[in-house]
Each structure stands twice: as C-alpha cells, then as structure tokens.
C-alpha cells in the first residue's frame, strides 16, 4: 500500500515521535509498503533528510521552549486534509505523540480527508488525552484509579484529600512532561507552576507506591503484561528514553490471577474510552495487591526502547508484523 507516515509535530514529545516514526517507516517498507514521511510542523521529509535524522538519539530531555515556539509558529497541520501526500495515500500512519497529534486535532483533520488512519478516532483520542475525563469514565465503568483533584485547589485541600507524596502534572501531556512528585507543602505551588507551562489544566493525583505495570491492547485484545523497573523513583522521560535507565520485563512476573485481572481492566478501559488500533494502558500494583489505572496512551511510543514492541515480541509478533497489523486493521 501507499502510506504516508506523520511524525514530529509541535508537542514536547516531538523527539520521541521522530524516533518512533523513523523506526516504523523502516518496518513498513520491510513489509512491502511504499512509505512517505510528512512532518505536520515542517512539511515532507525527503530521503537524505530522513537518513540524517536516523543518526540522532531521542535524548534525555524534551525540546526547549524556544524550539517549540518556532515550530508552532510555522505549524502546517491545518493543511493536512488537502495535502497531496494525504489525499493520494491508501492509509495514514500516525507516529505523533502528545499535542495536536494525540488530542484529537490531527484525527479530526484527517477525518475531513476521508483517508483511513491508524489509531483511535478524534473523539476517543481527545478524551483519552484528557486525564480528568479519562478518570471519570474509568471510575464509572469499574476500573480502579488513583484519587485526584483538579487545580484550582489549595495545597491544604489537595494534601488533605490525597496525602503526601502526591503527583502534580499537566492534564493533557504525556511522557511525564511537566510532572512533579510533591513530597512537602512548600513544593506544591512551584509544581503547579511547572505543570502550567505545558497545559492550562493541572491535575493533582495521589501517589500510588508499588509496581509499574503496562498492558498494550491491540484491536481489543490484551497483549502480554509488562513490568517497568526504573532506576529512579518514577518512570520519567529520562528513564523512558535513555538506555540503561529502566528494566522492562515482558511478560511480567505476576500470578495468573493478577495477570488476568489487569488485562481485563485494560480491555475494559480500552472499550469504555472507545479506543481502536493499538493503545497502552498503564497501572500501579500496590504491595496489598490492589490495582490503580494511571492513564491510557492512544499513540504509544514505537522506539527501540518502547514498551508496546516489547510486549508484541513476547506474544510472538515481530516489529514488522506489528506495524503491518496496524495498517491492515486501519484499512479494514
């Protein structure tokens, strides 16, 4: 098939998106597809530019504010419905992370083109990106999640309701961008200010100690559960994209009962949020054996260090087969 792969974009997760997209492009070409690359922020990416980009690593930090401001000033996303690389494609492959690529904006624009695309639709993507809305839906459908409060809320009320430590994070961001673990009263306001740099809405969430679990769901079926063991207190941006900063175990060393329960919760969350394609649902497992859903990722990373490819491999699916499956499912 003739595919156009969208990567890059203008979010804080731009570097991760570029790494995911370049790796997916190589896999899809190996599967026999014709793949063109299109960055909504800067335009088409030619062969020499792609070859140069492949030499770069994701890095342990997201782009600077100045870089993102410049990219957003020249953003070309609004032209996507009529772009020649979109109009003549059999399918659009989405490797965007965060921002307009994962808040439903790009999906809504692609709906206008009439060309099928990988991942969830505009409404489901927008809802899943909104952590507050996601938690409301999960709570309603019986998927346990950590208690939370939305800013504006005073430090006293937040700490009284959620205890310490607590998490302060942007409501609509990924890869732990702008996230702070608040361990004492004096850290609260600076943490809120940091989160407000990335989103106008900020969530305060109870910190759930325990094991970090993740469950990819592909076309409604749960893949093997993974456990993430970061070298730091939390699985942050640096741990996710720096080799050696985290150990990922697939399948996770869990009892059959816990494995089945977390997979059931993941599929229930996937269904309740009306997701499609491949999504990743993250959980914490406490020492008491209780589960808490942290969030749903509608366009999970596909880098060499990312979790979904590792889970797929544990299920006997190569990365080439995984990427090809995403396209086939989207066209079907």
For the annotated catalytic residues, the residue numbers are 13, 175, 241, 280, 282, 295, 297, 301
Kind and range of the H or E run holding 93: strand 91-94
Report the SS3 class of residue 226: strand
Helix (DSSP H) and strand (DSSP E) numbers for the chain? 14, 14
CA distance 311 to 306: 9
Pairing assessment for the beta strands 180-182 and 166-170 based on DSSP bridges: antiparallel
Return the closest-CA partner of residue 326 out of 35, 15, 105, 18.
35
What letter would DSSP give residue 8?
Answer: -
Kind and range of the H or E run holding 330: helix 319-331
CA distances in angstroms from 212 to 132, 209, 227, 264, 313, listed in the order given? 20, 9, 6, 17, 19
Kind and range of the H or E run holding 28: helix 14-30
């Amino acid at each position: 098939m003739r595919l156009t792969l969208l990567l890059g974009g203008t979010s804080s997760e731009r570097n991760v998106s570029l790494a995911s997209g370049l790796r997916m492009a190589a896999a899809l070409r190996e599967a026999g597809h014709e793949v063109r690359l299109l960055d909504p922020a800067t335009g088409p990416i030619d062969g020499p530019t792609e070859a140069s980009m492949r030499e770069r690593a994701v890095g342990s930090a997201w782009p600077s504010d100045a870089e993102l401001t410049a990219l957003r000033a020249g953003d070309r996303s609004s032209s996507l419905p009529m772009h020649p690389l979109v109009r003549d494609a059999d399918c659009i492959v989405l490797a965007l992370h965060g921002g307009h690529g994962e808040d439903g904006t790009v999906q809504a624009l692609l709906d206008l083109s009439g060309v099928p695309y990988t991942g969830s639709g505009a409404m489901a993507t927008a809802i899943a990106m909104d952590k507050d809305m996601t938690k409301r839906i999960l709570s309603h459908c019986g998927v346990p999640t950590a208690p939370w409060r939305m800013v504006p809320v005073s430090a006293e009320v937040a700490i009284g309701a959620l205890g310490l430590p607590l998490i302060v994070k942007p409501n609509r961001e990924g890869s732990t961008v702008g996230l702070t673990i608040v361990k004492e009263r004096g850290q609260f306001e600076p943490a809120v200010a940091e989160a407000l740099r990335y989103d106008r809405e900020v969530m305060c969430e109870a910190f759930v100690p325990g094991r970090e679990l993740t469950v990819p769901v592909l076309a409604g079926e749960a893949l093997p559960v993974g456990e993430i063991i970061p070298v730091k207190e939390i699985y942050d941006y640096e741990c996710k994209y720096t080799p050696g900063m985290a150990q990922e175990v697939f399948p996770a060393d869990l009892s059959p009962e816990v494995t089945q329960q977390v997979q059931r919760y993941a599929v229930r969350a996937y269904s309740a949020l009306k997701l499609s394609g491949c999504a990743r649902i993250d959980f914490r497992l406490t020492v008491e054996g209780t589960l808490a859903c942290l969030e749903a990722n509608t366009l999970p990373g596909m880098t060499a260090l990312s979790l979904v490819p590792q889970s797929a491999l544990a299920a006997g699916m190569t990365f080439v087969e995984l990427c090809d499956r995403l396209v086939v499912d989207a066209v079907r």
